[in-house]
A and B are shown apart, each in its own frame.
Chain A
Amino acid sequence: MFKIINREEMAQGTIVLNEIEAPRIARKAKPGQFVILQANETGERIPLTMADVDPEKGTITIIYMIVGKSTTLFGKMKVGDEYFAVIGPLGKATHIEKKGKVVCVGGGTGIAVLHPITRGLKEAGNEVITILGSRNKDLLILEEKMAKVSDTLYICTDDGSRGHHGFVTDILKDVLAKEDIRLVVAIGPVPMMKFVSKITKEKGVETLVSLNPIMVDGTGMCGGCRVSVGGKTKFACVDGPEFDGHEVDYDELSKRLQAYQADEKLSLEQCRQSL
């Protein structure tokens, strides 16, 4: 069960793609939904939004950046190795409909999550303008795939090594000024989603964001993933992971993501020493 049948390294090995056998999940999964993965019996349960599914082959694809112990363990697994547990599909699927002109904004590994949603929006007949951001050109992922499902594609890098030298929000502002945009989907680091939402709120443009807080079960049982949306507490695992970007309390989310910072550091250090 949950065998890795394809593995690719991206962004100079800092980001890894795994295609995993999970026929039941692949049959049901829709864009925007996530799975919870556990590398081995002592491992932590990690939520990741799926980057792709192939119902015929019975596989799902995840793309993750190696940041802590769990993603280090994931990254060490080879083709043929098996995940101890994969659970899903969890969360609500993205509501995809024809809106007109839409903007898809992606940052970091958020681009992987954004890809199936962008493809869905394009297939639904929308004109898709995509804006991708990364720290530098080497860390940018899925550019070709995103180009295929977009009518217009902008690239931004923090260091100017590729495309616009600056943030995705610079381009977004220009696009919003020139075009009649009906929907913005923003998926990436919390500050990116926060600033995108700030800009679109001023313009009154509907905005969807996908959140990835700390979770345990992913089925609504623990409440660890609670986020404040419009002043109300929501569970990202069952009420989300997508929410109205204008209503999310990003500062609270950023803080809650730091809850186990000291433990995570200790865990990663021990893991590196043992490797």
Chain B
Amino acid sequence: MVETKVKKEQTPRAKMPEQAPEVRKRNFMEVPLGLTPEMAQAEASRCLQCKSPACVEGCPVSVNIPGFINKIAQGDFEGAAITIWERNALPAVCGRVCPQEIQCEGRCILGKKGSSVAIGYLERFVADYAREKGTVELPKIAPKTGKRVAVIGSGPSGLTVAGDLIVKGHDITIFEAFHQPGGVLVYGIPEFRLPKAIVGSEVSTLAKMGVNIETNSVVGATVTIDELFQEGYDAVYVGVGAGLPRFMNLPGENLIGVFSANEYLTRTNLMKAYRFPEYDTPVARGKNVVVLGAGNVAMDAARTAMRLGAESVKVVYRRSRAEMPARAEELHHAEQEGIEFVLLTNPVQFFGDDKGRLCGMECLKMELGEPDASGRRRPVAIAGSEYRIECDLVVVSVGAQPNPLLTNATPAISLNRWGNIVAHPVTGKTTKKGVWAGGDIVTGMATVILAMGAGREAANSIHDYLTIGW
């Protein structure tokens, strides 16, 4: 017994095969290539199969992690897929975009002394295996209850609610504002990080299970929540995300060439502008690109700019490296691809030519001062340190706010002072009877998996409501 334990700790963590940085920085194909079955089995056999697994506690949707890993180790990949699906309807997505290092893998006992089990890689492996094989059985659907639930928004939380409630026998219709379902998974996260075919496949699994999807439906404009109740829906889940870009209110921000990350990424991802003119929607292709902000979205924008042919891409951030909010893996990938981090630097204004096109920006150098309310040392401008960066494209990626389109049309739903929906922290119930909310519209910008976790809790609460009462 002792022998095996030592062996497990000594087996090195699987290394994900990746496209070489010099190649991938000019294409939109996925960066990590996925583990082989042999690699997956070897990695799975590193798992200690803890009796009270900390990794599961670290997972917002409580996937039975040792359970599915054990099945991989035994070579039962289909069984592993079914084990994950019991708790997570979108494993191919989560295996790619979850911040495992602060969730499951961050709690892994092996990580205390060496490196944790590569849970994310394994989840992705299983999901990809099942999808490519195409023979894994769909979860069983409970007898129909006759209750109807409207899910507004087809992002990660809405898809989770739909997946959870359809198996419980309720009729589900998802209303999506865009022409294609997936929310941030299709408009925001780039192809090279999350291939759209994978999102499409996860959505079509839900459709096969009986979920009805109405695209081109802007709830709040095309139809209101009250009208949905009049149409016979028994409950409504609001998972519309944080869809209002924040700008910095700097002089010159409306020059041609200054974009929100939302616009830049939506054009490129949802509208497939990287394939212009095969697809009709264009996107600005900058030579010298600056991305403002240092979160995951900023890294997505910077790496997209590089793939669209930029000569230089700079990430300009007012704090230091340690405060950059993006995942370590994203920062690492960006640096490998030649993205330059210009830290402790803050934009002041943008300059344009006589045609109103961006040609440069002025920045100020910063230094770190006293800690602020968030506990991070506050950046303070260094007087007289202004300097100019030449650029023809700026992507503003400093966060997003709740979009008021739906909430303005639904006054009975209470909002907090930032415009986020006030929802019960566990159940997701809003102040309007029969309406739940979760994901970024409640929490502000967060992660895919947290939105899914909120969707899971809300789905349980909606099921209780439909079978027991409010």
Known contacts A255-B356, A263-B276, A264-B282; is A222 also within 8 Å of B266 by CB? yes
Give a binary string over B273-297; 1 marks a CB under 8 Å from any A CB, 0 the rest.
Answer: 0001111111010000000000000
Known contacts A44-B271, A85-B215, A222-B262; is A267 also within 8 Å of B282 by CB? yes
Contact stretch, chosen from A87-95, A128-136, A159-167, A176-184: A87-95
The A contact surface, by secondary structure, is: mixed
Known contacts A87-B218, A219-B405, A233-B254; is A42 also within 8 Å of B279 by CB? yes
Known contacts A28-B221, A85-B216; is A45 also within 8 Å of B247 by CB? no
Which residues from B are CB-within-8-Å of A43? 280
Picked from B216, B221, B247, B277, the residue with its CB within 8 Å of the CB of A233 is B247
Q: Are A252 and B356 in contact (CB under 8 A)?
A: yes
C-alpha spacing A29/B404, complex, angstroms: 19
Q: Are A216 and B256 in contact (CB under 8 A)?
A: no
Q: Are A221 and B266 in contact (CB under 8 A)?
A: yes
Picked from B271, B277, B403, the residue with its CB within 8 Å of the CB of A219 is B403
Which residues from A are CB-within-8-Å of B222? 24-25, 28, 87-89
Q: Which of B238-268 contact A (CB under 8 A)?
A: 243-245, 247, 249, 253-254, 256, 259-260, 262-263, 266-267
Closest B residue to A228 using CB positions: B254
C-alpha spacing A88/B243, complex, angstroms: 17
Confirm or deny: B412 has a beta carbon within 8 angstroms of a beta carbon on chain A.
no
Which residues from A are CB-within-8-Å of B267? 216, 222
Confirm or deny: B178 has a beta carbon within 8 angstroms of a beta carbon on chain A.
yes
Picked from A1, A69, A259, the residue with its CB within 8 Å of the CB of B256 is A259
C-alpha spacing A223/B178, complex, angstroms: 16
Give a binary string over A133-152; 1 marks a CB under 8 Å from any B CB, 0 the rest.
Answer: 00000000000000000000
Which residues from A are CB-within-8-Å of B218? 87-88, 90, 219
A191 to chain B, nearest CB (A): 16
Confirm or deny: A38 has a beta carbon within 8 angstroms of a beta carbon on chain B.
yes
Picked from B262, B278, B284, the residue with its CB within 8 Å of the CB of A259 is B284
Give a binary string over B166-179; 1 marks a CB under 8 Å from any A CB, 0 the rest.
Answer: 00000000000111
C-alpha spacing A90/B280, complex, angstroms: 22
C-alpha spacing A255/B276, complex, angstroms: 22
C-alpha spacing A233/B260, complex, angstroms: 13
Confirm or deny: A238 has a beta carbon within 8 angstroms of a beta carbon on chain B.
yes
Most buried by A among B177, B280, B284: B280
Known contacts A221-B244, A228-B254, A255-B355; is A267 also within 8 Å of B280 by CB? yes
Confirm or deny: B328 has a beta carbon within 8 angstroms of a beta carbon on chain A.
no
Closest B residue to A254 using CB positions: B356
Confirm or deny: B138 has a beta carbon within 8 angstroms of a beta carbon on chain A.
no
Confirm or deny: B223 has a beta carbon within 8 angstroms of a beta carbon on chain A.
yes
C-alpha spacing A258/B23, complex, angstroms: 34
Confirm or deny: A220 has a beta carbon within 8 angstroms of a beta carbon on chain B.
yes
Q: Are B356 and A221 in contact (CB under 8 A)?
A: no
Q: Are B355 and A45 in contact (CB under 8 A)?
A: no
C-alpha spacing A25/B223, complex, angstroms: 8
C-alpha spacing A43/B273, complex, angstroms: 10
C-alpha spacing A88/B177, complex, angstroms: 9
Known contacts A259-B256, A264-B282; is A88 also within 8 Å of B356 by CB? no
A265 to chain B, nearest CB (A): 11
C-alpha spacing A259/B403, complex, angstroms: 25
Q: Which of B208-237 contact A (CB under 8 A)?
A: 215-218, 221-223
Q: Are B263 and A69 in contact (CB under 8 A)?
A: no
Q: Are B263 and A266 in contact (CB under 8 A)?
A: no
C-alpha spacing A217/B244, complex, angstroms: 11
Which residues from B are CB-within-8-Å of A233? 247, 249, 253-254
Known contacts A42-B280, A226-B254, A258-B355; is A220 also within 8 Å of B243 by CB? yes
Give a binary string over A230-251; 1 marks a CB under 8 Å from any B CB, 0 the rest.
Answer: 0001000010000000000000
Q: Which of A80-102 contact B (CB under 8 A)?
A: 84-90
Most buried by A among B216, B267, B272, B405: B216
Closest B residue to A249 using CB positions: B254
Q: What is the interface of chain A, defined by CB distance below 8 A to chain B?
A: 1, 24-25, 28, 38, 42-45, 69-70, 84-90, 216-217, 219-224, 226-228, 233, 238, 252, 255-256, 258-260, 263-264, 266-267, 270
Q: What is the interface of chain B, defined by CB distance below 8 A to chain A?
A: 177-179, 215-218, 221-223, 243-245, 247, 249, 253-254, 256, 259-260, 262-263, 266-267, 271-272, 276-282, 284, 355-356, 403-405
